[in-house]
Amino acid sequence: MTTANNKDLKAVVIEIMANFKQDWFKRMVDWHTMHYNRIQELKPEVQKWLRKYDNLHSKYWRNFYFKHKSLESILDHKKKRYERILCDKAATTRGFDRYMQEVDSDLRWTWITAINRLVEKCKKFNIDLDKIQVSNPKIVAKGFEVYITDGKPRRIYARMIWAAEFSDLVEPHTRYIVTEKKIK
C-alpha cells in the first residue's frame, strides 16, 4: 500500500491509472484499426444487399408480406443491422487518417469521463482523504483493479474492466465496479 500525499481523490485515481491508460489507449487504437478495416471490407457487400433489398421490397412487398410475414421480419432485422454498419463512423469518415484523428480525440474525452465515473463511484463510500492509502494497481486481462483503504475497518475494491473487447463490430467499452468489503 502506498500513502497518497494528495487529498484530491481524482488526482489519486489519475496517478494509479497512469500505466493502465497507456495499455488502454494502445488496445483501443488497435481495435479501431481492425474495426475500420472490417467495416471497409463489409461496406460494398452491405451496399449491394441493401440496393437489392430496396428494389425487391418496393416491387413485391404487398404480395410477399401477406404470405411470408416471419421472413419479412428477419429481412427487416438484417436491413437494420446493415444500415447500422453503413452509419458507423468508420464507414462515413473519409480516409483512415481522418478516422484515427477523430478516434484519438474521442478516446481522450472517454478517458477523462472514465476517471470522473470511477471517482464518483468511489465517493459514494465517503473515503477519508486525509488517511487514504492505495495499493499498486494490478493490470489483469480484462482491465485493472486496485484496493483503497482510509483507516476505517473496510477495504474499497475498485475495478475497471473491458467489455466486448474481441468483437470486430461492437465497440469495446469499460465498466466501473466499486465495492466495499468490511474488515472484522
Q: How far apart are CA 1 and CA 149, in angstroms?
A: 9
109 has pLDDT over 90: yes
Question: What's the pLDDT at 142?
Answer: 79
% of residues, the chain, pLDDT over 90: 35
7 has pLDDT over 70: no
Question: What's the pLDDT at 23?
Answer: 83
Lowest mean pLDDT among 16-20, 25-29, 45-49: 16-20
- Alpha carbon distances (Å) from 56 to 61, 133, 152: 7, 66, 69
5 has pLDDT over 50: no
Average pLDDT rounded to a whole number, residues 39-64? 85
The CA radius of gyration of the chain, in Å to the nearest whole number, is: 23
- In this predicted model, what pLDDT tens digit does every residue of 73-100 receive, in sequence order? 788 889 999 999 999 999 999 999 999 9
Which residues make Cβ contacts (< 8 Å) with residue 92, sequence separation at least 6? 86
